[in-house]
Structure 1
């Protein structure tokens, strides 16, 4: 969308600047063998016919694609935190980081893992409250209480 600033303080990008900064997705048919191998693993592990746009765009740099997929598999694997909790955390961080793609992707994953509308509303309320109180603590330079150390 030409003319939309990526940050509220920045000037809008011209159409030329936007087209210069817009990477193209790497589709399976056009992918190098090492990229196809990661795509195949993603499709197999997730039981999907194609990979999401996120993977197609980071495939511009195959080492980043492979490293990120390996890390995701490790971090998001079953563990002490159940899959829903992990997805809720991902949504919370994504909201705070203002990553619309990540919010959409992980909200969908959280819903598949059992998140309800009520849970989503409460999660967003907690995210908003945490952001507000964090900024107040930073702004006032509040020292950490000894009981918290």
Structure 2
């Protein structure tokens, strides 16, 4: 038998926090997410995390500091596009379709075209394969970075 419509319509394993009804710390964080990420709505990921305001605050603080350091008054050695490419690569490797879509959207907003996305994903696929080979063969590292 096929999936029931209730399962197909469900968007998470918990009820998402209503963006309009959010208050207190959650409201502050939701507003900061929209401002920092230049969005007109709070994405579902954050609405799910808001079921635990402390967890929402922790994850948003980490993400804001690393992915949007300029918003925290910090300068990053990596530009915004590079940070998003890394996020996309890890998300693709981990098989997170939510994150792949989110980071692909962010890269598209930065002007990244389909050919560039294809190149990023080809590199991801290449290194997932070569990493598996090196790990499977248990090759001893012999190309070592200098210690600073």
TM-score band by shorter chain is 0.7 to 0.9
Deviation at 1:32, TM superposition (A): 4.1
Moved more, 112-121 or 52-61: 112-121
1:115 is matched with 112
Asked if 1:82 corresponds to 2:79, the answer is yes
Which of residues 122, 144, 147 is equivalent to 1:148?
A: 144
Measured in 2, the distance between the counterparts of 1:124 and 1:43 equals 28
Distance change (3 Å), C-alpha of 1:60 and 1:2: farther
Distance change (3 Å), C-alpha of 1:62 and 1:2: farther
Moved more, 117-126 or 77-86: 77-86
1:100 is matched with 97
Cα displacement string for residues 55-110 of structure 1 (whole angstroms, at most 9, x for unaligned residues): 00111111110111111111012511111111111000000000000000000001
Deviation at 1:2, TM superposition (A): 4.2
Which of residues 40, 47, 51 is equivalent to 2:31?
A: 40
2:20 is matched with 29
Moved more, 76-85 or 51-60: 76-85
Moved more, 93-102 or 26-35: 26-35
Cα displacement string for residues 120-148 of structure 1 (whole angstroms, at most 9, x for unaligned residues): 11111100010001011111111000x32
Alpha-carbon contact 1:84-1:114 (below 8 Å) kept: no
Number of equivalent positions: 133
2:134 is matched with 137
Structure 2, unmatched stretches of 5+, are 71-75
Cα displacement string for residues 34-63 of structure 1 (whole angstroms, at most 9, x for unaligned residues): 211111111222332220011001111111
- Provide the aligned C-alpha RMSD in A: 2.0
